[in-house]
C-alpha cells in the first residue's frame, strides 16, 4: 500500500511539474513579428522625414538606420533579433537632442502604430520601450 501511495504521489508531483503554463506571448509576437515591426519602422521613418521638427536630424541617416531600429525594438520587445549597433548614449553622443525632438520622434512612431492599427495595449508597451531610452538619447 505504501508503494502504491508513493508511486501515485510521485506521478502527481511529476505531472504538476511538467504541466507548466505556456509562456505568455511577447510584445514582439503580439504585434506580428519582424514583418510588422519593419512596416511600422519604415512608415515612422517616412513620418520623421516629413516632420520639420526633426527631419534635419535624419537627413544623413544611412540605410542602416532601419535595420538597427528594427533590431533594437525587436530585441526590446522580446523578439529573437540581435542588435549590433552602438548603445543609445554612444550613438547619440554630441548630438544634443532635446526633449522636444525626442517627443516628436515618439509622436511620429505613434502615428505609424495607429496607421497599422496596433492595439492600445501593444501601442502603450511599444511607446514605453521608446520612452525608456530617453535618458540615453536626450542631451548627449
pLDDT tens digits, 78-108: 999 999 999 999 999 999 999 999 999 999 9
Q: Is 61 or 124 the better-scoring residue by pLDDT?
A: 124
C-alpha cell at 102: 525626442
Kindly report whether the global pTM for this prediction surpasses the value 0.95: no
Question: How many CB atoms neighbour CB 85 within 10 A?
Answer: 14
pLDDT tens digits, 10-39: 334 444 455 667 889 999 999 999 999 999
Secondary-structure breakdown of the chain: helix, strand, coil percentages, each rounded to the nearest 5:
65, 0, 30
Mean pLDDT of 51-77: 94
- Per the CB < 8 A criterion, the answer to whether 38 and 53 are in contact is no
Query: What stretch of H or E contains 6?
Result: helix 2-18
Q: How confident is the model at residue 5 (pLDDT cuts 50, 70, 90)?
A: very low
Domains and CATH numbers, the chain: 30-137 (1.10.490.10)
Tell me the percentage of the chain whose pLDDT exceeds 90: 79
Amino acid at each position: 500500500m505504501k508503494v502504491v501511495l508513493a508511486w501515485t504521489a510521485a506521478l502527481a508531483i511529476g505531472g504538476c511539474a511538467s504541466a507548466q503554463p505556456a509562456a505568455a506571448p511577447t510584445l514582439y509576437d503580439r504585434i506580428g513579428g519582424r514583418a510588422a515591426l519593419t512596416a511600422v519602422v519604415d512608415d515612422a521613418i517616412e513620418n520623421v522625414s516629413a516632420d520639420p521638427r526633426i527631419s534635419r536630424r535624419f537627413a544623413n541617416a544611412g540605410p542602416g538606420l532601419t535595420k538597427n531600429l528594427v533590431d533594437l525594438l525587436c530585441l526590446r520587445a522580446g523578439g529573437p533579433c540581435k542588435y549590433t549597433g552602438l548603445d543609445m548614449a554612444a550613438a547619440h553622443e554630441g548630438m544634443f537632442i532635446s526633449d522636444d525632438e525626442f517627443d516628436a520622434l515618439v509622436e511620429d512612431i505613434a502615428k505609424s502604430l495607429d496607421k497599422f492599427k496596433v492595439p492600445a495595449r501593444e501601442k502603450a508597451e511599444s511607446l514605453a520601450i521608446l520612452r525608456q531610452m530617453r535618458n540615453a538619447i536626450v542631451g548627449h
